[in-house]
Amino acid sequence: MCIVRGTNFVPRFVVKEFGRYHGRCFNISNKELQINEEIRDKEIRVIDADGSQLGILSSKDAMKIAIEKNLDLVKIAPQASPPVCRIMDYGKYRFEQAKREKEAKKNQKTIEIKEVRLSLNIDTNDFNTKVNHAVKFLKSGNKVKVSIRFRGREMAHSQMGVTLMQKFTDAVAEVGTVEKQPKMEGRSMTMFISAKPVK
């Protein structure tokens, strides 16, 4: 039997059992199920390739059936009593599993945090530009961190910052909701807005 672990090819001897050679290559992940000669339990519950129950057999007898069908014996429920094993094409199973994992990963959307910086004396045009950027980010499914940097004496007017944050929240209300309310962090006030679920 030869085994491929990750990207490293690890050759292994071909096991001769019951007068036949049962050797094939598998794509093995780190979290591996026990297969073929690795299964040494005295008794196992066996499920055939078509899903039918073959009952409780010795691992030796189950292995013999798997070899006759040119398939593999795979322990799918080691915690059961007795452990449950299935006769299957393990190479095909691993290929299909890897394909599903790749597809799931491809469909996953990564949420990024985009930052929009405001200032207390921001003019209307700049404010509207910042709002448009935030709307675009939120429509893409990202989160928006809104921050205001207080300079010098502006620290005495933190309430103006809260008012500006509220004005910004209202401007993006159609596409976003406040996840974290405005909060002072040093000389900056920050707020987080997340995208509204698409209906």
- Per DSSP, the three-state class of 153 is helix
Bridge-based pairing of strands 8-11 and 2-5 is: antiparallel
Spans of the chain, pLDDT less than 50: 1-30
Number of H helices, E strands in the chain: 4, 13
Q: Report residue 195 CA to chain centroid gap.
A: 21
**CATH 3.40.50.300 at 113-195, yes or no:** no
Which are the contacts of 114, defined by CB distance < 8 A and separation ≥ 6?
A: 133, 134, 137, 142, 143, 144, 145
* Nearest residue to 17 via CA among 56, 55, 66, 52: 66
Distance CA 174, CA 177 (A): 8
DSSP state, residue 53: E
Confidence at residue 30, expressed as pLDDT on a 0 to 100 scale: 34
- Reading the block at residue 161, the tokens are 């910052």
Q: Which CATH superfamily is domain 2-107 in?
A: Translation initiation factor 3 (IF-3), N-terminal domain (3.10.20.80)
pLDDT digit string (tens) for 138-151?
988 889 999 998 88
Confidence at residue 133, expressed as pLDDT on a 0 to 100 scale: 92
Which are the contacts of 138, defined by CB distance < 8 A and separation ≥ 6?
A: 144, 172, 175, 176, 193, 194, 195, 196
Confidence at residue 79, expressed as pLDDT on a 0 to 100 scale: 86
Neighbours of 31 (CB within 10 A): 5
Confidence at residue 13, expressed as pLDDT on a 0 to 100 scale: 32
Full DSSP string of 103-138: HHHHH-----EEEEEE-TT--HHHHHHHHHHHHHHH
Confidence at residue 190, expressed as pLDDT on a 0 to 100 scale: 92
Bridge-based pairing of strands 25-28 and 2-5 is: parallel
pTM confidence score = 0.46
Give the start-to-end residue ranges of the domains of the chain: 2-107, 113-195
- Per DSSP, the three-state class of 151 is coil
